Amino acid sequence: MKEKIIAKRKLIDILVIILVGWFVCVPMLGNLDVYKDDGIQHIARAYGTKESFKNTLFPNIITSFTNGFGYSWNLFYGPSTPYAILLTSFLTGNFINAYKVVTCICLIFSGFTMYKFVNCLTKNNNASLLASILYMTFPYHLTDLYIRNALGEFASFVFIPLVFLGLYNLFYTSEKKNYELTIGAVGLILTHNLSTVIVAFFALLFTVLNIEKLKETRVKKDFIINIVFILILTSFYWIPLIETHFAGRYQVYQDGAMSTKEGFLESRLNFSQLFVTKNDGSFVFELGPHFMLMFAVSLMAFRRMKSDIRELHVFFIVSTILSVWMSTKLFPWGLFPDEVSMVQFAWRYLMMSGFFLSTVCALNMFALIKEFNIKDVLVISIISVMYICAFVGYVTYDDGIQDINNLELGIMSGREREVVAGTAKAEYLPVNAFDNRFYIASREDEVFVLEGKAFIENQEKNGTRLSARVETYDADYTVFELPYIYYPGYKVTIDGSPLALFETENGFLGFAIGPKDDGLLEVSYNGTMAMKISLCISAISLIGFCVYVWKKR
């Protein structure tokens, strides 16, 4: 019997991870308030992306948002999570259940990737299983899941272990399997921009630690190959992102749009918040006494650690301390330039604390407990699971929650400071449109004449498609404003002849035609040439990467 269990140990570990993940997700079975905080934005974005597919193969513009004038999430924010919700909705029948399923899958897969990482370090199933369960039950991990509904950041937990697994294989093993670096980095980039920045910082530290090894021909070659694959696989996302940045002035790129330096400094945690959480609906930032106890014995564990992972053990310890420090008021963020505020919240660095701390605790127990076995793993895991159960009161429910199809999304009233379901803080509008939100709120959904005189009839608008008959009467030229917010990728023609487009002073799409001209005006969103080329590059490189992985394995 014992031999059979040993033979199927990894399968058993997979089942345990799934069981723990399912237990942690039990609150999802109720009427969870998935619209709380960031949740409504993620679900609305997935819903809007589905609607956009009805008009174009490039669903960058969510046509029904911003009072029907269009709003772009997908040009600025990683597209993986809305696509995941959208695809899952075909199985669940609605977007709320799809959101719940996606979050549960992300939690379980974060356990899988953590297991894979620690197993590569230790070659020990018990240490790997413990690390995965600790990672899944790290309090901040579940703050993202249940309190913030921050799906983008929450999903990033899946890819962090893969990034460091790829780097470990690259620098510390003779194995050729370091493609996990590409998978992890691509997953991060396409999931959450800000998490990518934070992970990149610690990945850079890890690379600097091993800079001498980077001089080896094999290491250098594989490192360059991974970087190239990361860039070309994600080119369909970052090339349009850069193109949009240079196509006009968008609010997201303005100083203080995402976060001000003052706001970032205010987000730093009091040291006490790492130990105690106020019972006032606050986010849970505490680390947990079981984590701190296991971390406290790091020096003892280091002395018993195998020599081949001592250097890594030290790196993980230092990174744990650094990431926790960076989230608190004890870190001198005020001495840094304003650009540090781009991650919005200092406490976001706790996501890295969860990864490093879980790794250190598992390594410590593996080194210190004599004949470390599955019973030890189960005892610590039960303690960790029971600890997070104490925070069940922070989970909020809403028995009257409506399906996303029944909500009015992206409707702006024109108020100075406004958070709208579907468009958040309107940070992805052109600056001109952002500054003229009252104009957006009061504007009619039709073609306007800004300069000159013209007769417009038979207007028909369906999403990003519009047609009308226009006839100009002015002796000079006539300037029109279309009922679309200015984003690159629109095509406007008169009797089939393309017109030059520009952004109006209101942040809308504009064009001009000559004197006494008439014809059939047609508008469509087809994406730019750069979008089409980059999509082809990514598709072809995906095939190439699959072949590369197959050869590596």
- Distance between CA atoms of residues 116 and 421, nearest Å: 38
Q: In the predicted model, is pLDDT for residue 7 greater than 80? A: no
Cβ(120)–Cβ(169) below 8 Å: yes
Mean pLDDT of 529-533: 94
- Distance between CA atoms of residues 54 and 361, nearest Å: 49
CA proximity to 93, closest of 476, 404, 425: 404
Cβ(157)–Cβ(132) below 8 Å: no
Q: Torsion over CA of 93, 99, 104 and 106, rounded to 10 degrees? A: 120
Identify residue 344 by its one-letter amino acid code. Answer: Q
- Distance between CA atoms of residues 484 and 466, nearest Å: 10
pLDDT at 280: 60
Q: In the predicted model, is pLDDT for residue 258 greater than 80? A: no
Cβ(60)–Cβ(489) below 8 Å: yes
Sign of CA dihedral 507, 509, 515, 516: negative
CA proximity to 284, closest of 414, 143, 78, 495: 143
**Helix, coil or strand: residue 501:** strand
Mean pLDDT of 296-317: 92
Q: Provide φ and ψ at 414, rounded to 5°.
A: 95, 5
User: Considering the chain, what percentage of its residues have pLDDT values greater than 70?
Assistant: 97
Least confident of 219-233, 242-256, 274-288: 274-288
**Helix, coil or strand: residue 409:** coil
Residues of 6-20 as b/e, b for ≥16 C-beta within 10 angstroms?
Answer: eeeeeeebbebbeeb
pLDDT at 113: 97
Q: In the predicted model, is pLDDT for residue 19 greater than 70? A: yes
CA proximity to 449, closest of 486, 494, 479: 479
Tokens 């992102």 belong to which residue?
A: 241
Q: In the predicted model, is pLDDT for residue 551 greater than 90? A: no
Least confident of 1-5, 221-225, 476-480, 481-485: 1-5
pLDDT tens track for 440-453:
999 999 999 999 88
Q: In the predicted model, is pLDDT for residue 58 greater than 60? A: yes
The number of helices, as runs of H, and strands, as runs of E, in the chain is 22, 9
Q: pTM score, two decimals?
A: 0.93
pLDDT at 6: 59
Mean pLDDT of 464-485: 89
pLDDT band at 414 (very low <50, low <70, confident <90, very high): confident
pLDDT tens track for 74-103:
999 989 999 999 999 999 989 999 999 999
352 vs 550, more confident: 352
Structure tokens at 414: 């024109």
pLDDT at 53: 85
pLDDT tens track for 479-523:
999 999 999 999 999 998 999 999 999 999 999 988 877 889 999
